[in-house]
Structure 1
């Protein structure tokens, strides 16, 4: 991830005028200093207008020696972070995306807030800003699929030309849809839902569009990109049906994967990128990826299954 750091980090960022980032001591970082590093990598200005990103729980002056990354801030992921001794959990998905009027511990989200505060564990959300940034969720997918000449599927309104939601690029050589789908299945973590495919298994594909997370709202952009196949998650019935009806010679084919799985690959890359930035600044912070599988499904029944 050195390319990410070179693109976004050219020296220690200055502390905010209010001093909330704190002062390092003997290589220790404050939460505020980690927030500055995260902003260099995943600027909040790249977040979609509807999104809620940034610090959810935590004091910027608190010292942080351990950081854990997770897709979802579920109670299980929070407990894993607390047990390890992390002072910060970086979650891709927001804990409080919709308006709330209570964080009483009588609800799961309220209990999550209580556990975080009581344990002294901060929570940072890096969502659509993490999707859009260079080295973000879809860039990691594109790299995993070995795509070349990659560009954003939907360029960012506020950002660099290479930033935006989704990516589209070309495979080094033509492959069948069946073989490419098998590669997708092998690269992503195993979850109950598996991988669903719409299209001719023997059809040839080379141009590939990807979007980590729910991406059926980008189907018009996929068609405009002339992609042979689109890999994303949570494709709903009607958008999938309409896409197949409007397909030209069956394309774009569709590969529907687990929302969790499509974003899980980013965690290690994000942890490495943050670790590199902090190390360059002289901070000694241990970073790891949570083992918690937050995919919500446990098993699936299919026709003809044993």
Structure 2
């Protein structure tokens, strides 16, 4: 029997990769238009949702659009169907096409847009340019009879507890004896009403991100044999995974600034870049931020970048970067279109079902022409 995949299943997969809490507070991500529960037969991934993108989705019988840039980025007081935005919204609703956006959360995510750009440009040994979020951790301690320790450990580990670096199922356990007296109205797994029970138990301790606590607790309680599981949750000062926008790293070898410009054009498939700095200067340490990144020029310089690759540089910001000795390569905002292929591949890995198809949009949403 073919498994039915719904929009909410796709949303969940995207938010596993790019959790919504990573988005900046000014951003508008997630469901834009449509339904959580609608079944999906075809998904289209795009950078932008313009009227031409909607027309492509209609022509190709798409049910769900996954976009990087939100369709509803600015608040709307009304939907005027005499405007391009209004017509786009009407077309999407008329054809039951849902739109979902993963924007700054996908920028900040590990393996997100900025890592994609670094992969394509061959920038290794990289770090986050500007940290925006450090994951809060908690410790979970659960008391479980020895007979069910492995069952509970596996259940919580599969939901994200006990993951440290490249290791999973990281727990510590101690043995002891638990006591309890079942009272009237209980249905004890072990013990007799009105009598004190002594049970050989294991205390399993593990660390997990606070954001994963609800599903971990649900899995723990389901796997636990007792009617009432005994457990403790502690705050800890350990630092969890760090997230943020931009990346800074190194090329395999030094290049002249001019040679790096040519490399950027080829790797990111752009016909043209703007550049500041001495073209003959050798560079190796490179900062990258997809989209509009001029506000981070000081951060890039502070972290030792020779050159900063980002879009939408304005005149005075470029002058400021040049004055501080930071070269800038601006290949345009549209290089974030790289997310289309990577997102398609990610979703194909998440779903083995043949119930739906994933395609990338062929609509060119780059507003500039180069002559």
TM over 0.5: yes
Size of the alignment, in residue pairs?
Answer: 267
- Structure 1 runs (4+) deviating above 4 angstroms are none
Tell me, yes or no, if the aligned pair for 1:151 and 1:162 is still in contact at 8 Å.
no
Pairing of 1:1-306 with structure 2 (within 5 A): 26-159=2-135, 161-190=241-270, 194-247=272-325, 252-260=326-334, 262-279=335-352, 282=353, 284-300=355-371
For the residues of structure 1 that align with 2:43 and 2:37, how far apart are their CA atoms?
15
For the residues of structure 2 that align with 1:231 and 1:299, how far apart are their CA atoms?
19
Q: Secondary structure at the match of 1:39?
A: helix
Bigger Rg, structure 1 or 2: 2
Q: Residues 161 and 181 from structure 1, CA distance in 2 versus in 1: closer, same or farther, beyond 3 angstroms? A: farther
For the residues of structure 1 that align with 2:270 and 2:123, how far apart are their CA atoms?
22
Q: Which runs of 5+ in 1 are unaligned?
A: 1-24, 301-306
Tell me, yes or no, if the aligned pair for 2:277 and 2:328 is still in contact at 8 Å.
yes
Displacement, 1:246? 2.0
Q: Secondary structure at the match of 1:165?
A: strand
Q: Residues 162 and 178 from structure 1, CA distance in 2 versus in 1: closer, same or farther, beyond 3 angstroms? A: farther
Displacement, 1:284? 3.1
Q: Which runs of 5+ in 2 are unaligned?
A: 136-239
Displacement, 1:162? 4.8
Residues 23-78 of structure 1, C-alpha deviations (whole Å, 9 max, x = no match): xx722200111111111111111101111000011111111111111111011111
Q: Secondary structure at the match of 1:153?
A: strand
Q: Secondary structure at the match of 2:81?
A: coil
TM-score w.r.t. the length of structure 1 is: 0.84
TM-score w.r.t. the length of structure 2 is: 0.69
For the residues of structure 2 that align with 1:284 and 1:164, how far apart are their CA atoms?
35
For the residues of structure 2 that align with 1:158 and 1:49, how far apart are their CA atoms?
15
- Relative to total residues, which structure has the larger strand share, 1 or 2? 2
Residues 198-235 of structure 1, C-alpha deviations (whole Å, 9 max, x = no match): 11111111101000000001111101110111000000
Q: Secondary structure at the match of 2:304?
A: coil
Tell me, yes or no, if the aligned pair for 1:148 and 1:171 is still in contact at 8 Å.
yes
Alignment RMSD (CA, Å): 1.5
For the residues of structure 2 that align with 1:283 and 1:241, how far apart are their CA atoms?
53
